[in-house]
Amino acid sequence: MKRKGFIFDLDGVIVDTAKYHFLAWKKLAKKIDIDFTETQNEQLKGVSRVKSLEKILAWGNKSISDTQFAALMGEKNDEYLSYINKMDTTEILPDVPRVLDYITEEKQGISLGSASKNARMILDKVKLIEKFEAIVDGNDVSKAKPDPEVFLIAADQIRVKPEDCIVFEDSVAGIQAANTANMISIGIGEKEVLHEADYIFKDFTALTPEFLQELINR
Ligand code: B16
Ligand code: MG
């Protein structure tokens, strides 16, 4: 049996940081007189920081200089980090440690494949950083999801072929990236949204040891 690679997205899979992204973007949008709703925030899931600001400006019909753009990106991140700094282990989503421990005990590969440039800091805050054999995040890629780059690097770093990898993702772009990479895609969230995934679960509490073993035995 070949060793498998389990690749985890971060925001929305391991922790719910979408609420902090929302608060930080909302404050920034208000400052530049743009209305920003929770529904719009949904569309920013899995989307890079640059692309997120581009979308918000487009929604508000605003165009700004490159210098202003860079300054706003910095401001948003400082505000976001003020929330991240207060994070602790209580913010880990249900049953994530159980699944990580099961995979580790079975001696399978574990890596992170996230669009966030703050991924290492967040994993450190919630004390999960040591569970990962490799961490690939927004600092390591040039192409954003749905491009498969982040997952292909994550697989390569744990020396597992893409077809032997399983990706856990909460965003549509991430599911598409995993499918394009020829990996098994597991959607964490709503069936209606993530229907392109090979499997869909509401959260990790529904991931049984039997199912995980089935993935390992494939
Ligand atoms: P940062 P993931 C993504 O993380 C978030 O879903 C997305 O909302 C965010 O804009 C992006 O990271 C960039 O984050 O500003 O921290 O670099 O879901 O790919 O783990
Ligand atoms: Mg995500």
Is 53 close to ligand 1, i.e. is its CB under 6 Å away? no
Give the mean pLDDT per block of 10 residues along the chain (218 residues): 96 96 96 93 90 96 97 98 98 98 98 97 98 97 95 98 98 96 97 96 97 97
Active-site residue, 147 included: no
Q: Is 24 in the pocket of ligand 1 (CB under 6 A)?
A: no
Active-site option among 9, 78, 170, 198: 9
For residue 18, the CA-to-ligand 1 centroid distance in Å is 8
What are 115's two structure tokens?
A: 């669009």
**CATH 3.40.50.1000 intervals, the chain:** 5-16+89-217
**79 neighbors 22 (Cβ within 8 angstroms):** no
5-30 burial, b if ≥16 CB within 10 A, otherwise e? bbbbbbbbbbbebbebbbebbbebbe
Delimiting residues of CATH 1.10.150.240 domain(s) in the chain: 18-84
In this prediction, residue 140 carries a pLDDT of 97
Instruction: Tell me how far apart the alpha carbons of residues 37 and 178 are, in angstroms, rounded to a whole number.
Output: 28
pTM exceeds 0.85 for this model: yes
Which ligand does the CA of 170 lie closest to? 2
Give distance in angstroms: CA of 79 to centre of ligand 2.
19
pLDDT attached to residue 42: 85
Which of the four CATH numbers 3.40.30.10, 3.40.50.1000, 3.50.50.60, 3.40.718.10 does domain 5-16+89-217 have?
3.40.50.1000
Q: 97 and 127 in contact (C-beta within 8 Å)?
A: no
Q: Render pLDDT for 92-151 as a digit per residue (tens, 0 to 9).
A: 999 999 999 999 999 999 999 999 999 999 999 999 999 999 999 999 999 999 999 999
Whether CATH 1.10.150.240 fits 18-84: yes
Torsion angle of C-alpha atoms 85, 88, 94, 98, degrees rounded to 10: 120
Which two tokens mark 147? 């491009």
The CB of 115 under 6 Å from ligand 1? The reply is yes
Q: Are 180 and 146 in contact (CB under 8 A)?
A: yes
C-beta separation of 138 from 125 below 8 A: no
Q: Is 118 in the pocket of ligand 1 (CB under 6 A)?
A: yes
Question: Is 9 among the catalytic positions?
Answer: yes
